[in-house]
Structure 1
């Protein structure tokens, strides 16, 4: 693939060529929903991943923070990629490329041992520290309510019910500590090589309750196969979920999914968001 056809601008491409002399692009791994460009690059016989984006992309600073400060426990065992170089001005990251294939849409996505390993890796990430912020839940509730003011296709009656549920529970109950979270922990960001699991893509890294990293697995996999949930929790070592906060988290996640997917035009993901809303509200 020619550099001019990758979507990188001149400054981004020049940075990559300076960092990786003789680099060749052998694949495009971009998802196409945001302005993030993800390229498979080879230089001097070694494989790298190049990620580049525009000035307003919020994933770039999150991923950079994660690689600089919070991926150490996974990197120490070779279970994630290492930061090679960064151009903050032009928003380009170069990281090593872990071997294997994405678990998504393969038998590995429903392999109990892969889910067990996912629990082990996630616990290492989470166990690096805690922060206490009693206002975190209030802000997350407000964010979900505000999202309902954006364009979406959620039925008016459902909107009213979501507002009522969140309004009745602004911040009470268990205050969960915040931990370093991946933010998108499921088979789309798991790479499997001969049965060995590694993690990629920290673009949604943030400090959140540990349960936040379980929401997508619960929706995509666990409700269809409880064996996978049990395997994951065995690897993680415990179930971190408080029942009341878990159902509130699922409701906020459902709102965010339906609204965000509509904004980027992903109709399949939007439909999933509506299914998530139905199921989340049923818990109340």
Structure 2
């Protein structure tokens, strides 16, 4: 490699050098608060993206599964997989042209959400499986979050634990989901919306992919929500199950953000908890 990539392990660097001889590091897109590295290289006259995980990483395996099983309907609207090594927690994809939707005029445009809804519907429609243990696992996970360090107020935590204890153990239908479906993971190029970052892709209930939009972009913008659901082809949310998903998302956000020291995101998580308990998350 013409330019060193200090975030990569020696094995990852050797694989990238073999796959992309003479590649030049152009930009480090990594967040810096997780162990996943996202690096853009120029190789053979085109840009590619290298994603690498550290020892604790679980995202690369999820992303590879998504590329191999679920992304056919998104061909051309998601970076294509070029190289991968599961054991090294390393993958290389094509670089999609465009700019992030987040923070740009497209983030406030209904057509962006209409397109995002259509894309998500294609992903969700590929398969469905009934999981009898999903609700039990999610209840245990939510309680596990509350058992760890956090700054959710004591009275609020007591309310959360009481509600979690009342959750049913009903079967849930799981579909392929993106896991972080929001404008920071959408690109727009010549008016066309595309998707990136499948590091949280997994089988979950379809409405989970609406959680982050509901507590952010849809707040105060019912027109964006309507456009999204129009593109998606309907509203997949059952009120009772949706409340549980919002509470789980809120708890995990507040606890995770506290653990990594992201105070702004932690404040958002605590606000999400309050909104979900008040029933104002939709």
How much does 1:68 deviate? 1.0
By how many angstroms is 1:125 displaced?
A: 0.3
Whole-angstrom CA distance in 2 between matches of 1:59 and 1:96: 18
C-alpha separation in 2, matches of 1:5 and 1:44: 18
Distance (whole Å) between structure 2 residues aligned to residue 126 and residue 134 of structure 1: 19
Query: How far does residue 3 in structure 1 lie from its aligned partner after superposition?
Result: 4.0
The structural deviation recorded for 1:2 is 6.4
Q: How does 1:1-284 map to 2 (within 5 A)?
A: 3-75=3-75, 78-172=76-170, 175-283=171-279
Cα-to-partner distance string for 1:87-137 (whole Å, 9 max, x where unaligned): 222211101111101111111112110100000000000000100012201
CA distance, structure 1, for counterparts of residue 36 and residue 3 of structure 2: 16
Aligned residue for 2:79, secondary structure, equals coil
User: SS of 1:250's equivalent?
Assistant: helix
Aligned residues: 280
The more displaced of 200-209 and 14-23 is: 14-23
The structural deviation recorded for 1:4 is 3.3
- 1:71–1:125 CA contact under 8 A, matched in 2: yes
Deviations 1:200-250 (A, max 9, x none): 111001100000000000011111211000000000001000011111110
Contact 1:117 1:232 in 2 (8 A): yes
TM-score normalised per structure 2: 0.96
Q: 1:260 to 1:2 in 2, by over 3 A?
A: farther
- Structure 1: state its 5+ residue gaps: none
Contact 1:141 1:170 in 2 (8 A): no
Counterparts of 1:60 and 1:233 in 2: how far apart (Å)? 30
CA distance in 2, matches of 1:92, 1:124: 26
Tell me, in whole angstroms, the C-alpha distance in 2 between the residues paired with 1:275 and 1:124.
31
Aligned-residue offset at 1:150: 0.7
CA contact under 8 A between 2:5 and 2:25: conserved in structure 1? no
RMSD: 1.4
Question: Structure 1: which 4+ aligned runs deviate by more than 3 Å?
Answer: 1-6
CA contact (8 A) 2:176 2:203 kept: yes
Is the partner of 2:140 in helix, strand or coil? Answer: helix
CA distance in 1, matches of 2:6, 2:70: 30
TM-superposed CA distance for 1:67, in Å, is 0.7
Structure 1 residue 145, shift from structure 2 partner: 1.0
Distance (whole Å) between structure 1 residues aligned to residue 28 and residue 144 of structure 2: 35
Cα distance, 1:55 vs structure 2: 2.0
Contact 2:5 2:13 in 1 (8 A): no
Match of 1:4, SS?
coil
